[in-house]
Structure 1
């Protein structure tokens, strides 16, 4: 009986996802994607506020933190980690979707020059861009890793499009579900996801913006 209880407890996980805070590309009309934008001064303050609030909420609990290696996500993670005593682990699987040739261009340029309007997970805005299925396939090994290892408390700092895919995976949906529905978050949003002792997955909080204030 004791072995059974320990085995069940080992399945329990808390995953906190954080959408990186305000970046320069949010203010200058440029595409984010696989480009390295710094946080704005507001974005830095937002990340600090998230760190302070999580420090209070997570007191006494050991967490591990993963972050996209793109600058806006890494900077968000670094500011938050300073309050939690963590060292973020960079994972390029957590990068935002690669939009190909529009990287380095404005959002206006993207809209004027897109090669294909996306309707399914297999469509690409540009021939050299990732589809959402490409992102799914890139993320899946990392997702399987964290859901099957012994890490019980995890923080993930990433990007909006990537996290939409992550949430669908967490709810045990197929990639095709993104053709007709998704969970959309905002920069600085904090979400709480849990897997309980029976393996049931629960989203308890989604894109909570109160943390940035």
Structure 2
């Protein structure tokens, strides 16, 4: 059996400052650090003692900080992978959210969505974003380990889950799996049928005490 625990980083400074995140290297707030510690404790309680564990994380500071809390609880070093980053918003990153809102061109209801130009210089298309997260997940699931932890961002969670359930890249134009910041999504694959389940999406019960 394989279980993948996907953690979305908790509250970061770009959330409270109302600036665009993306590849802007914000850090966890004090509340975010407490939430990361709570997620780490929840994972320690869920993962059997003595089980082999692998830990992967986006290399941005807010996810690194989250992964460091988990690494301390589980006793494994994080493997940093820039492919697990949030979507790049190009020249909008670090600017006020309202700056992006005034320029953003939403995707059409019908027609091309994956390669849609959102009107922001240097930003990734949804296709580029999805492709790199899929590549990261390809590498992760090829590793023979029964317990894996992936620390990523709220937006990129969609493509982690879509990859897990086998959605072809060309079909993810409308996909959206949403979860609270600091939550844990649990993915499971059985050894007999090799079916893949989304056991829990965005479980945030551990955050009640954060």
TM-score under structure 2 normalisation?
Answer: 0.90
1:142 aligned residue: 136
1:36-55 paired onto structure 2 within 5 Å: 36-55=25-44
1:84 corresponds, among 74, 82, 93, to 74
Contact (CA 8 Å) 2:3, 2:189: kept in 1 or not?
yes
1:58 and 1:143 map into 2 onto residues whose CA distance is 20
1:66 aligned residue: 56
1:47 and 1:194 map into 2 onto residues whose CA distance is 22
2:181 aligned residue: 187
1:145-156 paired onto structure 2 within 5 Å: 145-156=139-150
1:110 aligned residue: 100
Contact (CA 8 Å) 1:121, 1:175: kept in 2 or not?
no
Q: Residue deviations 1:106-164, cap 9 Å, x none? A: 111000122x3223122132242111110121122222222222122110000011111
1:165 corresponds, among 137, 145, 159, to 159
Q: After the TM superposition, which of the residue ranges 58-67 and 188-197 deviates more from structure 2?
A: 58-67
Q: CA deviation at 1:174?
A: 2.3
Over alpha carbons, which structure has the higher Rg?
1
1:8 aligned residue: none
Q: Does 1:101 align with 2:91?
A: yes
**Number of residue pairs the alignment of both structures matches:** 201
Contact (CA 8 Å) 1:20, 1:76: kept in 2 or not?
yes
2:117 aligned residue: 124
Instruction: Specify every segment of 5 or more residues in structure 2 that has no aligned partner in the other structure, as ranges.
Output: none
1:56 and 1:175 map into 2 onto residues whose CA distance is 34
TM-score under structure 1 normalisation?
Answer: 0.89
1:6 aligned residue: none
Over the aligned positions, Cα root-mean-square deviation in angstroms equals 1.4
1:96 and 1:112 map into 2 onto residues whose CA distance is 21
